[in-house]
Amino acid sequence: MRKLCWYFFVSLGVLALAASFALAQIGTVKGTINDAQTGEALVGANVFLERTAFGAATDVNGVYTIQNVLQGNYTLVVSYIGYEPFRQAISVKSDRTTTLDIKLNASAVTLSGVVVTAIGTRIEREKMGTSVSSVNAASLATVGVHDVVTSLEAKGPGIQTLESTGDPGGATKIVLRGARSLGSNQPLIVVDGVPIFSGNSIGGGLSGGGGVSSTVAAESRINDINPDDIESIEVFKGPSASALWGSRAANGVIVITTKSGGQTGSKKLSVTVHSKMYADQLLRPYPLQTRFGQGIDGVYSSSGLRSWGDPIWMRSGAADSLQRTNYDYAPILKKNSTATFDHAQDFLRDNALTADYGVTLRGGDEWSDFYLDFSQLNQTGIYLTNSDLHRTSIRANATRRFTENIIAKVTASYVKSSTKRVQQGSNASGLALGGYRTPPDFNNNPYLVDFISPTGTVTLGVQRTYRNASGDPKGTPGFDNPLYMINYIPTQLNTDRLLGTAELTYEPAKWLNFIYRVGADYYTDRQFTTFPPGDANNPTGFTYRNANTNYMFNSDLLATANQELTNDVSGTLTVGFHLDHRRTDNTNVGATAFVLLDAPATFSNSLNYTPGEALTITRSAALYGEASFDLFKQVYVKGTGRMESASTYGPDAKQTYFYPSASVAWQFSELPFIKENLVKDASIFSFGKLRFAYGEAANQPGAYQTKTYFGVSNPQNGWGEALRGTQYTGGGTSRSTSLGNSLLGPEMTSETEFGFDFRFLNDRISLSASKYVNKTTDALLAVSVAASSGYTSRTANAAKMENKGTELQLIAEWLRIEPFSWTTTVNWSQNFNKVTDLSGVTQVNLGGFVGALPSAVLNQPLGVMYGTRWARNAAGAVLLDTNGFRLVDATSGVIGDPNPIWRAGLINTLRYERLTLNVVLDISRGGKVWNGTKGALYSYGTDKDMDMWTTITAAQAASLRTWSGKTPSQYISASATQKRFYTNADGTVSFRGKIGNLGGPDVILDQDWYNLGPGGGINGAPTEAFMEDGSYVKLREVSLSYTFPLRYWGMQSATVSVTGRNLAIWTNYTGVDPETNLGGTGNNIGIDYYNNPTTKTWIVSLQIEY
């Protein structure tokens, strides 16, 4: 193989040498670009010669210069956002300068006319046979987020995002045109033509991201791309557009192009100083009750687990009476205080500020250009401490033209990021879990006490929680006090990352070029977490260190030839050869049982430590090609093909797969008949294009699933009990319960897409529509296998899935009365996913809780909630017990679909001279969420809904029954001291609860039902009982920006903007946010279980250009 590679490169070298001997005949193209109406110079407009690498951008005076152009005839194309595209034929002569001054007409179309393709070349949008969504630098500047994915929210149809957490640097889930895989549905991220790592940082002991029991919110490595560096983002939503990336492209491809220098006219250097200030706040506090205290059966208990205690308003308000006087936090004998505390917010800080500042240098001349940016982001989370994100980013991009036909380009970026995170989720240390469960009459301060025993012995620094309110060191915390957790259980991730590309372009002839491009992405991710002794999860303390090193290398050699065959037919042919090598390397150690409790939590201070490691190397190699033809300046045909092998396929499977694609775009408005009759002056119908595309792409299986392995025996059950072979004489090994599959191959997705793009009223209204069907066959599935076979799972190409969807985009400039304009963009998309084959398996768990499992189920959308239900008879009627209370079914079934029915983005842009107001609404309709937080808090009695006080007549008290089957009268007569039912002077009875009807006779819904029975989540409520509609409308973004010339002290211009993100939400969902998801970016969506809450943000931004 290596020999062949060498042969290939030597051939290239010979060819290059031969061509350089040819005498070059070169000329220059230059001119200015201005707004046709105002005459204002247009800065940063892209000018290029079609089907060549020659191009430039205009400087601050609107001047462009394209140097060293080989003699010949070209089509010059100008694209500039907000203006109509411009094309004109020009002739370049040796040693001459061709001058072309251009005036552009404003257009309602706010998308760039040029798209960077999946392999890094450029194509005019109007020639594309697929629908591509784009985001440009100007939009990124006002959107005010720290990462690429979040910036895409509501920006295009078919882009589904889920901003599941408000923690700094939290990963936002993105899926394009529906799930195609039971594994990752994350699109491939390609930066400057080279793929990068874009998964989440996870590790065993931290397990952020992946599993539902993740203990901290996931951090996405996409965060390492600084949005300030991005020139454009193109979203290729499926195989019909992304097939050229073959076995990595089934989920679509997001192509990111970073900024380049460009000539700056008379000045050789331009300097931009940019800074932003952010202020984050909690979006919505969880609703909690504050009227009933800690305890059970209506009686206060200072050690009570639940909040079914006494009515706080009935207390005297005097000081509490304590068991003993030598200690302020001695057990409370009688609770008298009526003070209450807001445990949904008492862990928040007042000012969660973020500073993001930097400086950019750009410059260049006719031979070279460079871009240099330094940015620093310091974000503070909304919690009191130990929640932040710091990112230092340096990027240098440079291009150098060595001779007229050899261009070298280097892009390089170094990013150092660190983030601190707080515990969340189903976790005794979880912030919300401990917080929301705390009784309203318990003060979480102080969270650390010096305990004094009855005999006066002092123990310093003990955690105090509501379940151990004295801080007795012999007690157990139960759940960590959220304030203690925030202060004493830090989790930190530190990343150092280098990524970049090097690219050499050689153009031996005007119609021919070669590009050799390599890209490397290398990062280390070191993770730390420490639980001190006395923490709820780890009584003896726990510390964990996890070091990941990831390396990816990509190499692409491309040859492109283009030729005008006749006046009406021209074509381009690209052939490429790709190699990639990916390596992930992990070492971790977890330690428990610290010897010196107040010494640092180090391994040498630990009695027990367990190391772990993992190493994967995967490779793929591909040969690919693309042929496109322009016919009669109205039909654009493109075909691509990729042949690819990968190291992850089973030895008995096919080793090389072919991924084809084809597309046709027909600008029928160019037909002479239509052009002359219908289009005419474009005042009604100005443009029409029909398009059709088909493509196939795949996802590779993970490494090493083709064999069955043996390892150290480490059986564990679902409750935490575990044994480990290393601890027993001679060691114990077990065969993996995961059966290797020698027939494993890629999961193939094919997609058919068709649609149209119409424009009306001089392009002031544009309408695009697409319909697509994508089908995944051979989907990779960890098929559960009957344990009685000896295995519990096997990864196989065993599932089938399909998505059918519709995407609409309407862009309308309603109003233009110079200098005012109002443009509305509507993105609407609908996707129906269906799992069409699971190889006979009824249900596949995608990661959840017992009883609440997001699953793949045959003929259901991926991710449906599979869980426990109310018992029903064959006719579907709910079954009741003899007293009229619902019964729970012993078996599980599908209880809801978390996928939205449709989504829409509504973007209104109002401009008045240089003032721009942008308002973005994100709308999601349908989609069920399991509000497990609420279910559990019903049991705990702290949910706002548990604030109930009902008075019933004596007759009702004698007849209505609680879940235990007793009437209030029976409770009252059974015990003279009971406090659950109060007999009033008039004979009526008051109690905490309400009268309900569950389908039979009226019943009393009170502590018996919510805490003991299946009315509450902890003690047996079926999952179905807490499924809620997750529809929402979010005010994603409101930004007001103003750019003004500022020609003092060397300044050129200044832009000021104010942005609000996620300022408001309209939803019937009763939890913190219907977007919240403990599954993070996984396929396990719709799980709300004590996730850290989401935030809203205010951003002030200032950018000054010198």
Partner 1 sequence: MRKIILVLTVSIFIAGLVGCEKFVSGFDSNPLSPVDASASTTFIGAELNYVLFTEAYPAFVSAMWTQQIHGADRQFLQLQTYQTTTDDISNDWNIAYAGALSNLRIVQGKCTSPALANLKGAAEILEGLHMGNVAALFGDVPYSQAIQYPNLTPVFDGQMAVYTAALGVLDQGITDFNSNLAPLAQDMLSLAGVGTRWVKLAHSAKARYLMHTARSQGYSATVLNQVIAEAQQGILSTTGSEDANATHGTVQSQNQNLWYSFMVVDRSGYMDATVAGTFAIPMMQARKFDGKSNEAGRLGFYFNSTLTNLNTTTTGAYAVSASYPIFRASETHLLIAEAYIRLGNTASALTELNNARTYNNSVFKNTSTLYVASDFATPAALQQAILNETYLSLMHQVEAFNFMRRIDYAISYKDSAGTTKTIAPTRGTIFPQRFIYSTSEATTNPNQPAVPTDGLYIRTPANR
Residues of span 629-668 touching partner 1 by CB under 8 A: 643-651, 655-656
Which residues, numbered 762-821, are part of the site for partner 1 (CB under 8 A)? 784-792
The residue within the footprint of partner 1, chosen from 88, 99, 321, 608 (CB under 8 A), is: 608
3-state secondary structure (DSSP) of residue 241: helix
Q: Does 599 bind partner 1 (CB under 8 A)?
A: no
For partner 1, give the closer residue by CB, 642 or 1096: 642
The nearest distance, CB 833 to partner 1, in angstroms, is: 20
CB atoms within 10 A of CB 711: 10
Distance of alpha carbon 568 from alpha carbon 136, whole angstroms: 33
For partner 1, give the closer residue by CB, 347 or 866: 866
The nearest distance, CB 781 to partner 1, in angstroms, is: 12
For partner 1, give the closer residue by CB, 657 or 694: 657
The nearest distance, CB 208 to partner 1, in angstroms, is: 20
The residue within the footprint of partner 1, chosen from 658, 709, 820, 1066 (CB under 8 A), is: 709
The count of chain residues that interact with partner 1, using the rule CB under 8 A, is 109
Q: Does 880 bind partner 1 (CB under 8 A)?
A: no
Which residues, numbered 452-511, are part of the site for partner 1 (CB under 8 A)? 476, 478, 508-509
For partner 1, give the closer residue by CB, 711 or 999: 711
Angle at 428 between CA 423 and CA 431, to 5 degrees: 40
The nearest distance, CB 53 to partner 1, in angstroms, is: 17
Distance of alpha carbon 789 from alpha carbon 769, whole angstroms: 50
Give the interface segment with partner 1, choosing from 319-327, 620-628, 678-686, 907-915 (CB under 8 A): 620-628
Nearest Cα residue to 696 out of 61, 218, 250: 250
The nearest distance, CB 774 to partner 1, in angstroms, is: 26
Residues 6+ apart with CB under 8 A from 786: none
Give the interface segment with partner 1, choosing from 105-113, 119-127, 604-612, 1001-1009 (CB under 8 A): 604-612
Nearest Cα residue to 750 out of 699, 696, 831: 696
Q: Does 890 bind partner 1 (CB under 8 A)?
A: yes
Which residues, numbered 986-1025, are part of the site for partner 1 (CB under 8 A)? 1018-1020
Q: In this structure, which amino acid lies at residue 651? A: P
Which residues, numbered 711-750, are part of the site for partner 1 (CB under 8 A)? 711, 713, 715-735, 737, 739
Cα dihedral: 85, 89, 94, 97 (round 10): -50
The residue within the footprint of partner 1, chosen from 72, 539, 571, 1000 (CB under 8 A), is: 539
For partner 1, give the closer residue by CB, 785 or 1063: 785
For partner 1, give the closer residue by CB, 738 or 950: 738
Give the interface segment with partner 1, choosing from 92-100, 260-268, 339-347, 885-893 (CB under 8 A): 885-893
Q: What is the DSSP secondary-structure string of 458-471?
A: EEEEEE-BTTBTT-
The nearest distance, CB 620 to partner 1, in angstroms, is: 6
Q: In this structure, which amino acid lies at residue 133? A: S
Give whole-number Cα distances, 305 to 301, 790, 833, 839, in Å: 9, 42, 43, 46
Angle at 259 between CA 223 and CA 279, to 5 degrees: 45
Which residues, numbered 831-850, are part of the site for partner 1 (CB under 8 A)? 840-843, 850
The nearest distance, CB 896 to partner 1, in angstroms, is: 17
Residues 6+ apart with CB under 8 A from 1096: 280, 281, 282, 283, 1060, 1061, 1062, 1063, 1064
For partner 1, give the closer residue by CB, 317 or 999: 999
Which residues, numbered 1064-1103, are part of the site for partner 1 (CB under 8 A)? none
CB atoms within 10 A of CB 237: 32
Report whether 623 contacts 643 (CB < 8 A).
yes
What's the gap between Cα 256 and its chain centre?
Answer: 16
CB atoms within 10 A of CB 170: 31
Distance of alpha carbon 564 from alpha carbon 545, whole angstroms: 61
The nearest distance, CB 304 to partner 1, in angstroms, is: 12
Report whether 237 contacts 176 (CB < 8 A).
yes
Q: What are 615's two structure tokens?
A: 């190493």
- The stretches of 635-757 forming alpha helices (DSSP H) are 672-674
Which residue(s) pair with 693 in the sheet? 663, 753
The nearest distance, CB 243 to partner 1, in angstroms, is: 17
Lookup result for tokens 């009365």 = 817
The nearest distance, CB 300 to partner 1, in angstroms, is: 20
The nearest distance, CB 439 to partner 1, in angstroms, is: 16
The nearest distance, CB 727 to partner 1, in angstroms, is: 4
Q: Cis check for the bond before 660: say yes or no (omega within 30 of 0).
A: no
The nearest distance, CB 994 to partner 1, in angstroms, is: 23
For partner 1, give the closer residue by CB, 159 or 739: 739
Q: Does 547 bind partner 1 (CB under 8 A)?
A: no
CB atoms within 10 A of CB 99: 11
Q: Does 254 bind partner 1 (CB under 8 A)?
A: no
The residue within the footprint of partner 1, chosen from 89, 891, 1047, 1049 (CB under 8 A), is: 891
Nearest Cα residue to 728 out of 746, 747, 715: 715
